Every structure is written in C-alpha cells, then in structure tokens.
Amino acid sequence: MNSSTRENPRQTQDRPAPDSTAPLKLVVIVSSNRKGRFGPVIADWFVEHARLHREFQVDVVDLGEEDLPTALTDDLPPQAAESLGRISPRLAAAEAFVVITPEYNHSFPASIKSLIDWHFTEWRAKPVAFVSYGGLSGGLRAVEQLRQVFAELHAVAIRDTVSFHQAQGRFDGDGRPKDPAGCDPAAVSLLDQLAWWGRTLRDAKAVRPYTG
C-alpha cells in the first residue's frame, strides 16, 4: 500500500464542506488490461448512461491504458510512478465508483486488485457499484469477491449489479446492446442507487468526518 496516499482523518475537518447540490464525482474503472479485451465495449455503453444521469460528473480510469505496478514498493519504475501520479488524485477526488470487471479464473483481474491495494483512504466511506461481464456466470463471482475486498477498505458496496452473461453475443458490431430493454433500465437503476448513497455519504461526512 502506498503510504503517501494516506491522510490523517482529522485533517479533513479543516476542509470546506462540499456543495451538497454539486454533481457527484464518479470514477468508472475499466478493470481488464488483457489483449483483445471486451471491457471497452461495456464501458462505452455504461459511461454513456452515466453521463446522461444528472447526478454525476464522470471520469474514466482505464487500467488497460496504465502501467500499474503489482509490487507494493517505493522503488517504482518511472512509468509506474507516472501512472499512480495520474490515477491517485482522481480516486481521492471521487465521491463514488463503478468497477467494470470481467471474471478471470473464478475471480477478478490482477489489474483491479493492484489498483485497490495501492490506495486506502481513497476508497473509505464512498459507494462502489459493479458492472460485470463474462461467460455463463456473467462475472458475478468476480463481483462477490470484490465486495469483500472493498468492505475491508471501508467502502460501501451497492447491492444491485449489472451483469452480462455471454457478453460478446449481447452487443452488435457498433457496440450497442442487441436487447437494451433489459440492460438500459438496469444501468439507470444502479446509477440511481449509487447517487443516493453518494449524496448520503457526502452529506454525512460534511457533518462528521469518517475516522474508521
């Protein structure tokens, strides 16, 4: 864990209270960095919905475009240090997260675990939702394990999940869902829940900073 990302919870008491009417800063994390990955198709579809949602200001962190280290050390190669330098402030500023993940070998990709482990305070007392994809399982086994990881970091996992079983067959050549009647309302419902938790936690922390 990168100790430079930690902060004293008491320091947050000196910060001005956030504007309760401002859009929530949402970071959408594209987890897969595998060659030929299908993740960007799912991400483009979901981010379009998120940007249409009035509650959010959307930022995308694509781990396929970064070079995150897996070794938790201070002796980082320049490229890895640059990746963390770009990503860490965006996670710190975020007020909600959506993780878009496939399922690899009954679990989630190493790339998202590396991102999680390099940070700590960035996740605390913030809501996180999941959009998963894969074969028969639709990535849901990866999501169940990610819920446990984020709970350890004091994040709040949203109950509902959007999942795509046999995902590649559910989108056309332009990256649009073949049957949007199911997945589009599911995305809106997930975003509505995420917005509720995001605003509730933001308001609560403005009154009483989280010190867990």
Structure tokens at 187: 């995305």
Kindly list the structural domains of the chain, giving each domain's residue range(s) and its CATH number in brackets, ordered by start.
Answer: 21-32+40-207 (3.40.50.360)
- At 122 the three-state DSSP class reads coil
Which pLDDT belongs to residue 150? 98
* 70 backbone φψ class: left, alpha, beta (φ>0; ψ -120 to 50): alpha
Edge-to-edge, what's the strand order for the sheet holding 156-165?
A: 56-62, 24-30, 96-102, 127-134, 156-165
pLDDT tens digits, one per residue of 96-155: 999 999 999 999 999 999 999 999 999 999 999 999 999 999 999 999 999 999 999 999
For the entire predicted model, the pTM comes to 0.89
What does residue 42 show for φ and ψ, rounded to 5 degrees? -60, -45
Asked if the model's pLDDT at residue 92 lies above 70, the reply is: yes
Asked if the model's pLDDT at residue 13 lies above 70, the reply is: no
pLDDT tens digits, one per residue of 23-62: 999 999 999 999 999 999 999 999 999 999 999 999 999 9
